[in-house]
Structure 1
Amino acid sequence: MDSKEYVQAKEHEQDERTSMSVVSTMRQRTVLEPGGWYTTEEVAAMLRVDASSLRRWRTARPPQGPPFVTISDRTTRYNGADLITYLNGKRVDPTAAA
């Protein structure tokens, strides 16, 4: 193995470790803080949906999904209290439907 192949192998190994740590981090349960602000990726991980779903919901007309704040063209945040209210409003109680 020459030095170029060695460097490529090490870079690939590092990429695999990084992607695994991101996956394990996203699988951790997160407690929603009512006063907290969350990124699209954090909310997606909590809801166990892809971040592209949240982006699609935001750009739908009319907008769908949880309430959000657009800070700039590239920065959107979700408030913890809004997320809790949104999720509680989506809750279905099967005993109440009977």
Structure 2
Amino acid sequence: MPDRTAPHISPFSSPDASDEALATSWYTTEEVAQLLKRDPSTLRRWRTARPPQGPPFVQLSQRAVMYSALDLQQWLVSRRIDPAQAA
């Protein structure tokens, strides 16, 4: 069984975080929703939108979905807007 005790991930995590820990960390919809401070229904809505929205996910079965910590971190970084750069 995979280790589900993953490091805390936030948009403010340092870029030198262990790549190995991120590559082996997987989260459920509920865990990602908690990290993003969103309701799990928001992630479900993003997944079922056409085209799909939100962070990349792995559909294990019709009811089981997992999110890679590395994908989640990359998705957050890709959505970052620096006001100084946007001006």
> Hey, what does 1:90 align to over in structure 2?
79
Percent of aligned pairs with the same amino acid: 55
Segments of 4+ in structure 1 off by > 6 A?
none
Which structure has the larger Rg over C-alpha atoms?
1
Structure 2: give runs of 5+ residues left out of the alignment. 1-6, 10-20
Q: CA–CA distance in 2 between the matches of 1:92 and 1:68?
A: 23
Give the C-alpha shift of residue 31 in structure 1: 1.1
Q: CA–CA distance in 1 between the matches of 2:84 and 2:22?
A: 28
Instruction: State TM-score, norm by structure 2.
Output: 0.76
Structure 1: give runs of 5+ residues left out of the alignment. 1-29
Q: 2:26 aligned with 1:37, yes or no? A: yes
Q: What's the Cα RMSD here?
A: 1.1
Higher helix fraction: Structure 1 or Structure 2?
1
State how many pairs are aligned.
69
| One-letter amino acid of the structure 1 residue matched with residue 33 of structure 2 | A
Q: Deviations over 1:43-97 (max 9, x none)?
A: 0000000000000000000000000000001100000000000000000100111
Q: CA–CA distance in 1 between the matches of 2:67 and 2:36?
A: 13
> Hey, what does 2:53 align to over in structure 1?
64
